[in-house]
Amino acid sequence: MADNMQKESNDWDAKKYHKHADFVSNLAMPVVELLNPQKGEKILDVGCGEGTLALEIEKSGAKVIAVDLSEDMVLKSKEKGLEAYMMSATDLRFEQTFDAIFSNATLHWVLTPDEALKQMYKVLKPKGRIIAEFGGENNIKHLLHAIKAVFEKHPKYGAFNNPWYFPAKDTYKALLEACGFEVIMIETIVRPTKIDDITHWLDVFANGIIKHLTPKQQAQFKTEVKTLLKPLLYSKEEGWVIDYERLRFKAIKV
């Protein structure tokens, strides 16, 4: 999922995303099942990426409006026949028209989560539901540790600006409630996830944090992160398995 709702925190390369990150939507079918879309419903997909899941949702007969901050991803979604717009989760330019909001692997890019929740509340009909999944409190813990260690080792790289928000379950539940939602369920799911290579993951998802470095420094950064992570996330039997932890919830506008 092209989940960049925080302006300029990542550059999305649609080709690389398609090649190395299809696991993002492949693993999200339980979230679509939790959404349980109904024929005739109007559903907003926040952070639609290539539109794979929006298409899946439309199979129910629901109408999906798909939004993403990446122009490339919006184009990919349009190519699939979806109604898609370039828009941020913190600036949803719609009226109160949606029966439901769906969001997969996006909300961890939003560093002002209350703003996004207020916007989602605004565009939902009364009793409308939001079903979402994103990175939880311990998501990519080893990876973050390695990234921070490499930045610390090279002061000339500058400070590491973490572009991700991985909240604890209780923190996010309280935020949902403060924004006017009733939380029907919220759970943490530890989900180690097979990826093809950590370098590709960094290329697709972490290019924003090193874009100020020279090409040589970027290559060195990736090599050092990979070296630190290999004993923790790589095995001959399974290859690379990244330490994902998901936060999944269903909440209703009251």
- Residue 3: which H helix or E strand, with range? none
CB of 188 to ligand BEZ, least distance (A): 13
User: CB-wise, 226 or 253, nearer to ligand BEZ?
Assistant: 226
Q: Which is nearer to ligand BEZ, 144 or 252 (CB)?
A: 144
How crowded is residue 72: how many other Cβ atoms within 10 Å of its Cβ? 18
Sort strands 193-195 and 98-104 into parallel, antiparallel or unpaired: unpaired
Q: Give CA 54 to chain center in angstroms.
A: 14
Q: Which is nearer to ligand BEZ, 151 or 244 (CB)?
A: 244
Q: Give the integer Cα–Cα distance in Å for 127 and 130.
A: 10
Binding positions for ligand BEZ, rule: CB under 6 A: 105, 108, 135, 139-140, 164, 205, 244
In whole angstroms, the minimum distance from the beta carbon of 62 to ligand BEZ comes to 24
C-beta of 47: minimal distance to ligand BEZ in Å?
10
Q: How far is CA 188 from the centre of its chain?
A: 15
Closest to ligand BEZ by CB, 125 vs 141, is 141
Q: How far apart are the first and last CA of the chain?
A: 29
Residue 42 bridge partners (DSSP): 63
Q: Shortest approach of ligand BEZ to residue 139 CB, angstroms?
A: 5
Q: What's the closest the beta carbon of residue 136 comes to ligand BEZ, in angstroms?
A: 9
State how far the alpha carbon of 138 is from the alpha carbons of 23, 163, 169, in Å.
Answer: 19, 15, 11
Closest listed residue to residue 108, CA positions, set 212, 206, 181:
206
Q: Which CB, 3 or 99, lies closer to ligand BEZ? A: 3
